[in-house]
Amino acid sequence: ETAVFQTPNYHVTQVGNEVSFNCKQTLGHDTMYWYKQDSKKLLKIMFSYNNKQLIVNETVPRRFSPQSSDKAHLNLRIKSVEPEDSAVYLCASSDYEQYFGPGTRLTVL
Amino acid sequence: TQTVSQSDAHVTVFEGDSVELRCNYSYGGSIYLSWYIQHHGRGLQFLLKYYSGNPVVQGVNGFEAEFSKSDSSFHLRKASVHWSDSAVYFCAVRTGGYKVVFGSGTRLLVSP
């Protein structure tokens, strides 16, 4: 049963454009994450929010910015995308286990 | 800094075989270990976890894992695999904070 929802499923854009990805969880958790998964399936944490507060901010380019309106929503904005941003972006909600959404596949042409 | 190593990038077995997927970690303090499965085109799904107590933990679909402090390991096992177990498996380590580190994944292929 899906409890972490991500939109869109896919997004194709050109270098320099701005994109936004949305994530919503219905599990009542306080903590949410954004991960980037590359073509080799390597999974890297980008950001984590706990109850709307940023608590983990890994070394990612400044064009990436998370946005949280409440603890059930965590969006990701990328200003001026680059080719290396092509990846699957996974959102997760957590108490201790992580509950993942289906991912958003970004292709930058 | 915690690290997670999954030494086998690919494992191929036949349906009905047993399988062990290896995970080694490095961290000196209390940790929370877990395994996740990712089918093609999907997000990761939780399989099982260990924090304390019995070092052998049971998960969904017949998976189990054994924690070893002396070996710094948390290997995943299944006695008899099914073709639907073909997927990528990730080991993950979480310390007392919110940061989670995932291994590089092991792709399991189960041949009929």
Alpha carbon of A80: minimum distance to chain B alpha carbons (Å): 26
B64 pLDDT higher than 70: yes
Q: Tokens representing A88?
A: 């699957």
Identify which of B110, B32, B39 has the alpha carbon closest to the alpha carbon of residue B78: B110
Residue B56 main-chain phi, psi, to 5 deg: -100, 120
Alpha carbon of B101: minimum distance to chain A alpha carbons (Å): 7
* pLDDT value at residue B21: 98
B86 pLDDT higher than 80: yes
Number of helices and strands in chain B (H, E): 0, 12
Judge whether B92 is closer than 8 Å to chain A, CB to CB: yes
Residue A48 main-chain phi, psi, to 5 deg: -140, 140
Q: Percent of chain A, pLDDT > 70? A: 98
Look at residue B62 and give its three-state secondary structure: helix
- B103 C-beta neighbours (distance < 10 Å), count: 25
* pLDDT value at residue A1: 61
B23 pLDDT higher than 90: yes
B99, B102, B105: residue with CB nearest A56? B99
The residue among A18 and B100 whose pLDDT is bigger is A18
* pLDDT value at residue A52: 82
* pLDDT value at residue A54: 85
A103 pLDDT higher than 80: yes
DSSP A72: T
Which residue in A has a C-alpha nearest to residue B106's C-alpha? A41
Lowest mean pLDDT among A97-106, B45-54, B62-71, B89-98: B89-98
**Residues A94, A33: contact at Cβ < 8 Å?**
yes
**pLDDT tens, A19-35?**
999 999 999 999 999 99
Look at residue A83 and give its three-state secondary structure: helix
Instruction: Name the band, by pLDDT with cuts 50, 70 and 90, for residue B79.
Output: very high
* pLDDT value at residue B2: 75
Alpha carbon of B83: minimum distance to chain A alpha carbons (Å): 21
CA distances from A95 to A29, A92, A98, A104 (A): 6, 10, 7, 22
Look at residue A57 and give its three-state secondary structure: strand
- A89 C-beta neighbours (distance < 10 Å), count: 23
Task: Compute the average pLDDT of residues B45-52.
Answer: 93
Chain B contacts of A38, Cβ < 8 Å? none
For A63, residues 6+ apart whose C-beta sits below 8 A from its C-beta are A78, A79, A80, A81, A82
Q: Percent of chain B, pLDDT > 70? A: 98
Buried b / exposed e over B22-45, threshold 16 CB at 10 Å, is bbbbebeeebbbbbbbbeeeebbb
Q: Tokens representing B68?
A: 């070893």
CA distances from A66 to A56, A62, A90, B68, B108 (A): 11, 11, 13, 37, 33
Task: Compute the average pLDDT of residues A67-81.
Answer: 94
Interface residues of A toward B, Cβ cutoff 8 Å, are 4, 31, 33, 40-43, 45, 48, 50, 55-56, 90, 92, 94, 96-103
